[in-house]
Structure 1
Amino acid sequence: MKGKKILLGTVVGILVLAVAVQVLRFGYTQFMHSSYPRPEEYQALVTQASADTGVNEALIYAVIRTESGFRPQVESHAGAIGLMQITPATFDWIRFMTGWDEPLTSEDLNDPAVNIKYGTQLLSILLTEFETQDEALAAYNAGRSRVNQWLKDPECSKDGETLSYIPIEETRNYVKKVEDARQTYQRLYYDTASSQK
């Protein structure tokens, strides 16, 4: 009888532990999804921008999260506007580079559809120019001309193509933050095993 009670207690303990693990896993997943959201109102826009440019959706979400925290009306002290924080000068440059002649003004950057379309196009241009994500992200944050200068500096680049050192701390942190977020978005939403949980 004593052996049966011990066995029953062990089985109950294992069941309670299994339930607790599932509750913790569910809570962790919910927490991660709320910390790294894909707001429903932006999903079709991100999917379309990704399809049009070939830029990974996880990277687009990571840039939006890092740049604006998904607040479409935010404006930086440097005058960058909207979800992907595009300055009017950069907006004009993207339009020049793409040949897009839509009748838009910089105020239209407050529109998520415009901002995501042009911000993703900028990422695409930078990824094509620099060929690696870290350098493209550094250019997105600090500007193309700075990154090109750094690539010519042997203290920043050993091969002239990749940065071994980013001299501006804000840009170093930005590149890491976006990459960490991209990895998390990829794991949460796009990796097959994770997305089925």
Structure 2
Amino acid sequence: MKFFRKKRVFALLLFLFVVFLFYNTRLLGTWMYPIKYEKDIRVSATNYNVDPFLIAAIIRVETNFNPEKTSRKGAIGLMQLMPDTAQWIVEKADYADKTVHSLERPDVNIEVGAWYLNSLYQQFDSNRIAVLAAYNAGPGNARKWLSSGIWDGTLKNIDKIPFGETRHYIQRVMYYYNKYVKLYDEELGPRTT
């Protein structure tokens, strides 16, 4: 008899826990979709007028907030910046030369990545989807697809992008972007561009 009583108590507690999680979907959501380095993201987003949720979504897709990740192609840090791209950014943004050697640091990587996103927004007329295509496949490829009419720069027509990796990348970033906006809108700060 004690065994069945324990099972009922356990089942009731489990049921109450599940009800609590579904009742408090925000708690469950923030547990499933955490954002790390919020302060660095907020500061860099403000500095370069870039949407903080977009930075967070890119970091989630690129490294899942692991600052030590390096890609097979050599991309470094949270936002997976290629060394050549980082060097170009350092020259254009007039950062100190030592910046390139500090890309493993989350604050530096996010700052440089936010500057780069701002640059891409300027190059692609504030088209967020084209910016993501350029971030993943390179601005030259994105520009070529847009200017030749292969792709119109919309999320609706990303199936026209010739690179499957880029199509998938855009979909994943936008998935996390939408989750973050829904869960953290009041905490991370105002959205921009």
TM-score (norm 2): 0.79
Residue 29 of structure 1, aligned match among 15, 23, 26: 26
2:8 maps to which residue? Answer: none
- Please list every run of 5 or more consecutive structure 1 residues that lacks an aligned counterpart in the other structure: 1-16, 193-197
Q: Which SS does the other structure have where 1:110 is aligned?
A: coil
8 Å Cα contact 2:76/2:104 also seen in 1: yes
Q: For residues 147 and 105 of structure 1, what CA distance do their matches in structure 2 show?
A: 27
Cα deviation for residue 34 of structure 1 reads 2.4
Q: 2:107 aligns with which of 108, 113, 122?
A: 113
Match of 2:145 among 142, 150, 153: 150
Q: Which of the numbers 162, 176, 180 marks the counterpart of 2:175?
A: 180
Determine if the alignment matches structure 1 residue 93 to structure 2 residue 88. yes
Residue 107 (structure 1) shift: 3.4
Matches of 1:150 and 1:176, distance apart in 2: 18
Whole-angstrom distance in 2 between the partners of 1:140 and 1:88: 14
The residue number in structure 2 matching 1:46 is 41
Deviation at 1:22, TM superposition (A): 4.2
Classify the secondary structure of the residue corresponding to 1:86.
coil
Measured in 2, the distance between the counterparts of 1:154 and 1:60 equals: 28
RMSD: 2.1
User: What is the SS of the residue equivalent to 1:104?
Assistant: helix
Q: Deviations over 1:6-56 (max 9, x none)?
A: xxxxxxxxxxx9997444223x433321222122xx121111101101111
Aligned mates of 1:185, 1:152 — CA distance in 2:
32
Q: Structure 1 73/20 Cα, relative in aligned 2: closer, same or farther at 3 Å? A: closer
Q: 1:167 to 1:18 in 2, by over 3 A?
A: same
Structure 1 SS opposite 2:81: coil
Out of 57, 60, 70, the position equivalent to 1:62 is 57
Count of residue pairs the alignment pairs up: 168
Relative to 1, partners in 2 of residues 1:35 and 1:18: Cα closer, same or farther, differing over 3 Å? Answer: closer
Relative distance call for 1:34 and 1:19 in structure 2 (3 A) is closer
* Deviations 1:141-195 (CA, angstroms, capped at 9, x unpaired): 00000011111222323xxxx3542110100010111011111100001059xxx
1:189 maps to which of 181, 184, 189: 184
Shift of 1:71: 0.3
Q: 1:44 to 1:19 in 2, by over 3 A?
A: closer
In structure 2, the residue matched to 1:125 is 119
